[in-house]
Amino acid sequence: MGMRTHPWSAALAFGLAVCFGWGCAGVFGVPLAYRYFAQPPADDAWAHKIEAWQTRERAEQRAPNSGVQTPAVASGADTGGASDRPADLRSKYAEFRQQSKRALARELAGWIQKQAKQHYIADGPIDHWATLEETFRTNGDDCDGLELLVYHMLRDLGFGETEVFRAVVYRRSDNQHHMVTYWFEDPNDPWVIDPTGAMTFGMPHMSEVPGWAPLKVFSEDSNYNAEQQWVAQQ
């Protein structure tokens, strides 16, 4: 993606700002939230770009010699003898599982941002969204190619298909676009993993990243708009 500003996007951002009251939010101090999985309109400007990548990505995953394999995740529960066990074992397991997932995701965020220093390759005048295999073949890419390493690794490590998505975000000050990975542990405020650190470092929640807003949320098989919504103050 290469952090570029498209000519039409400034007008679109201004129109959205007027419609949704971005400028007013700072005046009245009303907190904002987003509905991350809204259906895009029929004339969605991003649809062609996303669908083109989806088609190529699915085709490469189905290829017999694909270099990326998703391990099978076994699951099951033993419900026998529950009365003989401490009552809090299930909650301890769930808590440790979530702590482990967060630690793993944070480690991955640090790793990809380190790799970006060596493997970032700008697209040039044409913004091409690479597949994962294309990123490996060229030994690097810009944000949208490097982000795929995070997206696929989280999926490979057992993070659910309804938890992990690719996301196009933009900086409000100049409308520059960027690609990051969203992990929806909280369905209303995802964790952000930025492959290059252009938006943020570490793994903050989206609500903790000032000056940036979500635009698109998608995967190989899905495509959503991120829409602003008002949140009642408590």
CA distance 218 to 54: 9
* 144-191 confidence digits (pLDDT tens): 999 999 999 999 999 999 999 999 999 999 999 999 999 999 999 999
For the residues 8-13, what does the mean pLDDT come to?
45
**Pick from 22-31, 64-73, 114-123: least confident:** 22-31
* 116-127 confidence digits (pLDDT tens): 999 999 988 888
Mapped onto helix, strand or coil, the DSSP state of residue 166 is strand
Query: Side chain identity at 117, as an amino acid letter?
Result: K
Mapped onto helix, strand or coil, the DSSP state of residue 221 is coil
Angle between the N-to-C axes of helices 143-156 and 89-119, in degrees from 0 to 180, rounded to the nearest 10: 150
- Between 66 and 124, name the one with better pLDDT: 124
DSSP, residue by residue, 73-89: -------TTGGGS-TTH
Contact of 1 with 178, CB cutoff 8 Å = yes
In this model, does residue 27 exceed pLDDT 80?
no
DSSP, residue by residue, 27-92: HHT--EEEEEEEPPPTT-TTHHHHHHHHHHHHHHHHSTT-S--PPP-------TTGGGS-TTHHHH
Global pTM reads 0.71
Contact of 194 with 178, CB cutoff 8 Å = yes
In this model, does residue 89 exceed pLDDT 60?
yes
